Amino acid sequence: MSSGAFRPAPRYSTEEIRVIGLRRKIAERMEAANQVPHITIVEEVDATAVEELRTRMNASTQQTRLTLLPFLARAIVRTVREQPMLNAHYDADAGLIRRFGAVHIGIAAQTPSGLMVPVLRHAETLELRAAAGEIARLAAAARDGSARRDELSGSTITITSLGPLGAIATTPILNVPEVAIVGVNRLAVRPFWNGAAFEPRKMMNLSCSFDHRVIDGWEAAVFVARLKELLETPALIFVEG
């Protein structure tokens, strides 16, 4: 006797999709990155202070809205000034490391056409709101397809973030020939032990990957620790010297 339950018909179709254009280029870059021995460090960051500062700054003006990214960009500028080897390309064929004075930060962005990495050029010259405005402009240009070729190339270090979809931790793949990439994971309120009691804090993890051929584990750990310090005490981002 039939139970009367609906049983969907089996499907036998197979679809072949040719990998061309931008998706082909992305695949080729990922294949090249797979040849690089990565080291990944994941560090927990208390983002409460930087989030409070960001909220206050946004409430005080109608200018470009600040996200976390310009604060992170400023922190990266400060950190690579102290560790210039992280702001570099490695040419394995030539056995050559190219360290850059300019800090051109790639901002990995998902678009309808696939992953693109618009470049925040000369981040070392941009104050916070100028960086925020340029990041917003580049992201919009990448999404609507109006970004120029020169706006999608030439980065020296990259930030990648999945925004609210971000996981607890990720293992970012290097944007070769760069030697470092900073991954931003999901921000969430978590209980934090302050030494006497648990309190709610806005926490996130940074997942940073490095080219282990040229960046040692110690150097990588120092870099991540410094980013953590700057984000947890954001006033330091604005202190020169």
Report how far residue 194's alpha carbon sits from residue 196's, in angstroms, rounded to the nearest whole number: 6
Exposure b/e, 82-92, CB count within 10 A at least 16 = b: ebebbbbbbee
Q: Give a yes or no: residue 71 inside a domain.
A: yes
Residue 176: what pLDDT?
A: 92
Q: Could you tell me if residue 138 is inside a domain?
A: yes
User: Nearest CA to 174 among 68, 75, 39, 24?
Assistant: 39
In this structure, is residue 33 part of a structural domain? Answer: no
Q: 175 burial class (0-12, 13-18, 19+ CB within 10 angstroms)?
A: buried
Residue 94 inside a domain? The answer is: yes
Supply the range of the domain harboring residue 60: 38-238
Catalytic residue numbers, as ranges: 212, 216
In a domain, 4, yes or no: no
- Establish if 27 belongs to a structural domain: no
Backbone φ and ψ of 217, nearest 5°: -60, -35
Task: For residue 15, tell me if it sits in a domain.
Answer: no
Check which CATH number belongs to the domain holding 150 and give it.
3.30.559.10
pTM of the shown model: 0.88
Q: Count how many domains the chain has.
A: 1
Task: Write out the chain's pLDDT in tens, 241 residues.
Answer: 556 678 889 888 888 888 777 677 777 777 777 788 999 999 999 999 999 999 999 998 888 899 999 999 999 999 999 999 999 999 999 999 999 999 999 999 887 777 889 999 999 999 999 999 999 999 999 999 899 999 999 999 999 987 767 788 889 999 999 999 999 999 999 999 888 999 999 999 999 999 999 999 999 999 999 999 999 999 999 887 6
Give the list of residues 6+ apart from residue 96 with CB closer than 8 angstroms, or none: 90
| Residue 226, in any domain of the structure | yes
